[in-house]
Structures are given as C-alpha cells and as structure tokens.
Amino acid sequence: MTEQRAAARGRGRPRDAEIDRRIIDAARSLLAEGGYRALAFDAISQMTDIPRSMIYRRWPTRAHLASEIASGGDGAFPVLIDTEGLEAQVLAVVHQVFDRYRQPDIGAAAVGVIADTQGDRALQRDLQAKAEADARAAFAAIVARGKATGRIAAATCPDTLFDLVIGPSLYRALFSMAAAPPDYPERVTRMIIDGLLDRDRA
C-alpha cells in the first residue's frame, strides 16, 4: 500500500475490514476462474451485494485491486541461512516466489497489473515501488548475514542477486508456455549456488 493510499484511508470513518475481505475474496475468485479480464467491479458488486461506489472508494481501478492481491499477504522471506545454510536459504526463497505466483488468482492479478500499467511509470511506482523496495531490503539483510558468516562471497551485489533468484521463478510462473518440471526450484537453486560460494573461505 502506498503512503498516498494510506493517508487517504486515514481520513473519515475507519474502513470495515469485513467489507474489504468480501471484496478481495470475490476478486480472487473472478481472477482464478476467468483471469484478469473477468475482474470487474460490476461482477464483484453482484457477488457481494456491495455497491460499486464502495469498491471504488477503496480501490480506484481494478489495477489497484489486483495489485493488492498480487503483492499482499505475508511477503517476508524465510531466514534460514544461519541455521540451515546457503542452499536451503536460496531454495526457500525460490520456492516461495514460484509457488505463490503459480496460484491462478495471484498470477492473473500480477500479469494484469503489468499489462494495465504498461507505459505509465507513475502508476507503476504507485502500485509496486514500496512492495519491491521492501522485498529488496529484506533480501539484502539475508545476503548481509550470509556475507558475515562466510556463506556468501563478499563481492556479491544484493540487488543483482535478488534479480537472479527472483527473476527465473517469476518468468516461469507467469509468462512461460513451457510446463515447469516438478523440481524446478531445486534446479534453479543448484545453478545459483556455485556462483555464490565464497571460494576463498570454502
């Protein structure tokens, strides 16, 4: 959620969390069954008996609603590097991203937001910048722990490594027409690990 949206929500009466939940649940059902094209405020209103005006007050466009579904939930990365090692850490992150975006509703929401915001950098920043910044910061903290314990080479760039770990899962889950092998996260992890090892301390 952006600071602007948070400030707007802070004015007036508090939002009813139950209404939010019903809208989100209906939206996720539409996305799972019909993809992004099926996500319409008219349909949500019919499913929930919530007036369209009330939906628009919460999410001004379907891209805003879909973005909350795509990036919502507990997005924190598991921190395993201290106790289970580098390979377990990378595998856990790859699995988390891959498994999440393979869910039909979340995948449809993510692809729809990308399509709807194409060419509108201001809207892209409004919908995506904070979630991405938070994810990169959390990942960078894990990398710092790995460097401190000698599990990750000191020269490793956290931002580049983030792209390397997250990117393949997003592409395969959201855009590829090829079926992913059952052990896809394990394959990605094994290819990444060799480039991360601190060979001077191994």
pLDDT tens digits for range 79-89: 999 999 999 99
- For the cut 50, the answer to whether the pLDDT of residue 2 exceeds it is no
38 token code pair: 């099926």
**Contact yes or no for 86/196 (Cβ under 8 A):** yes
pTM: 0.83
Q: 121-141: per-residue pLDDT in tens?
A: 999 999 999 999 999 999 999
Residue 58 neighbours by CB distance under 10 Å:
19
> Which pLDDT score is estimated for 130?
92
Q: What is the pLDDT of residue 201?
A: 52
What pLDDT, on the 0 to 100 scale, is given for residue 121? 93
pLDDT band at residue 194 under the 50/70/90 scheme: confident
Across all residues in the chain, what is the average pLDDT? 90
Q: Check residue 15 and give its pLDDT.
A: 77
As a whole number, mean pLDDT of residues 99-121 equals 96
29-58 average pLDDT score: 97
What span, in angstroms and rounded, lies between the C-alpha atoms of 148 and 131? 26
pLDDT score recorded for residue 132: 93
Percent above pLDDT 90 for the chain: 83
Residues 30-36, mean pLDDT to the nearest whole number: 97
Confidence of residue 13 (pLDDT cuts 50, 70, 90): low
Residues whose CB is less than 8 angstroms from the CB of residue 70 and which lie 6 or more positions away in sequence, other chains included: 106, 109, 110, 113
Mean pLDDT of 3-25: 69
Confidence at residue 197, expressed as pLDDT on a 0 to 100 scale: 60
CB of 77 closer than 8 Å to CB of 93: yes
Band the pLDDT of 4: cuts 50, 70, 90: very low
Q: In the block, which residue shows the tokens 């579904």? A: 69
